[in-house]
């Protein structure tokens, strides 16, 4: 029987009646310390035990020093020498090794929960949250990003007066995008906002609709009307197109350019402008996947879609063109109509396709890409560019 005085558990010894004390220890000792106690109790030296076992003295020295683990072969020898079972020594070794990995196990569990709650890979890849090998530091950074005090809290949008439910994988991606848009918007300067100023800016915006290069003026026009325009590339697996929210009484419009087309840019922009003019997005952000043909939309979305279409091409003009030319929309007719109403031909194509009177595969070459001109004139995060923004607590 072991004569060691250290406190060990039944589970560690593996033999009923072998414990010196059945209390659960606050610390798990290395098997070598039990071995040293046994030698002291018997008055044996390490060399003598080595001779008894027929093993090198260095083996006993390294076990006692904690530099070598007890193997099944060694456990068999110790059991024979001390009158125990090999399981006693193997259990001591196993308990000690498990105690050494307990911290790592807790870190793994904590990291797994963090990765299960947030899109860690996406946000780290985009540079929105700085990675750390220390799970405590990494968790703190994600909690700060999502305005949470603990991992059990509800993630929230940075400046919403009314809290929304962002549970679910898709929702958390949307919130991650929204919070980044808020950070980017904080860096944009704009004049004091007024509805009258924005309404007066709409004709200026329409003058930019004929050529895609004119989009470069849009940000300044909106800033002059008190509206901050930003672009934040959408996250993989998310479907965010645009949103509007308010910062200290000033409206922000954020676009993702998920569909890089000139018709999509102008429609989404005017859709959000309509929300701003109706004072929407103040209590909670108006964020959406914009689909003018979606069914079951709330009344304000139906209204914003209709007004966005009308801003792009006046309803009576479009309906007159459809009645006079359809269903055969030649390229010459589209170009001529676009030039007459002073909009880009791609906007005409987009409106016709949106109405369902032209197939989506027709005249695709007219739907020019605008990402380069937009991102060169609007404060942008994404598309290979990460803004070095620091979050400031409100």
pLDDT in tens, 41-72: 999 999 999 999 999 999 999 999 988 999 99
Q: Report residue 364 as tokens.
A: 């695709």
* Domain 10-100 coded CATH 1.10.260.40: yes
- For 364-386, what is each residue's pLDDT tens digit? 999 999 999 999 999 999 998 77
pTM of the model as a whole: 0.74
pLDDT band at 8 (very low <50, low <70, confident <90, very high): very low
- The more confident residue out of 286 and 388 is 286
Q: Would you state the pLDDT for residue 27?
A: 65
- For 120-137, what is each residue's pLDDT tens digit? 999 999 999 999 999 999
Q: What letter does residue 95 receive in the DSSP assignment? A: H
CB distance 119 to 112 below 8 Å: no
Helix count and strand count (H, E) for the chain: 18, 5
Domain-wise residue ranges, the chain: 10-100, 103-145, 190-381
Q: Give SS3 for 228.
A: strand
Q: Would you state the pLDDT for residue 290?
A: 67
- For 299-338, what is each residue's pLDDT tens digit? 999 999 999 999 999 999 999 999 998 788 899 999 999 9
Q: Would you state the pLDDT for residue 13?
A: 43
Q: Would you state the pLDDT for residue 203?
A: 96
- The more confident residue out of 194 and 25 is 194
Q: Which of 18-22, 106-110, 207-211, 359-363 has the lowest mean pLDDT?
A: 18-22
Average of pLDDT values for 5-13?
Answer: 44
């Amino acid at each position: 029987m072991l004569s060691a005085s250290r406190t060990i558990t039944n589970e560690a010894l593996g033999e009923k009646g072998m414990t010196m004390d059945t209390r659960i220890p606050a610390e798990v000792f290395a098997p070598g310390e039990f071995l040293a106690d046994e030698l002291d109790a018997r008055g044996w030296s390490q060399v003598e035990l080595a001779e008894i076992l027929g093993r090198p003295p260095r083996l006993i020295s390294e076990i006692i020093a904690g530099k070598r683990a007890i193997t099944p072969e060694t456990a068999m020898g110790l059991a024979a020498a001390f009158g125990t079972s090999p399981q006693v020594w193997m259990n001591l070794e196993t308990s000690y090794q498990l105690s050494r990995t307990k911290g790592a196990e807790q870190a793994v569990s904590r990291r797994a929960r963090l990765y299960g709650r947030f899109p860690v890979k996406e946000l780290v890849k985009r540079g929105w949250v700085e990675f750390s090998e220390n799970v405590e530091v990494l968790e703190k950074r994600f909690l700060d990003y999502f305005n949470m005090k603990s991992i059990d809290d509800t993630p929230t949008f940075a400046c919403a007066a009314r809290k929304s439910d962002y549970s679910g994988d898709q929702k958390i991606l949307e919130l991650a995008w929204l919070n980044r848009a808020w950070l980017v918007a904080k860096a944009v300067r704009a004049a004091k906002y007024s509805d009258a100023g924005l309404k007066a800016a709409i004709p200026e915006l329409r003058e930019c609709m004929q050529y895609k290069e004119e989009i470069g003026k849009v940000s300044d026009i909106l800033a002059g009307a008190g509206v901050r325009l930003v672009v934040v590339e959408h996250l993989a697996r998310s479907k965010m197109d645009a949103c509007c929210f308010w910062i200290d009484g000033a409206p922000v419009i954020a676009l993702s350019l998920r569909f890089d087309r000139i018709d999509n840019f102008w429609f989404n922009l005017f859709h959000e402008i309509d929300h701003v003019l109706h004072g929407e997005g103040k209590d909670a952000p108006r964020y959406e996947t914009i689909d003018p043909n979606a069914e079951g939309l709330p009344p304000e979305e139906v209204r914003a879609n209709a007004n966005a279409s009308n801003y792009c091409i006046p309803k009576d003009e479009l309906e007159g063109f459809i009645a006079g030319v359809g269903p055969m929309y030649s390229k010459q007719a589209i170009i001529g109509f676009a030039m007459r109403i002073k909009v880009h031909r791609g906007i005409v194509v987009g409106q016709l396709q949106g109405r369902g009177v032209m197939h989506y595969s027709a005249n695709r070459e007219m739907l020019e890409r605008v990402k380069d001109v937009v991102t060169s004139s609007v404060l942008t995060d994404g598309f290979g560019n990460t803004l070095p923004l620091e979050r400031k607590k409100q």
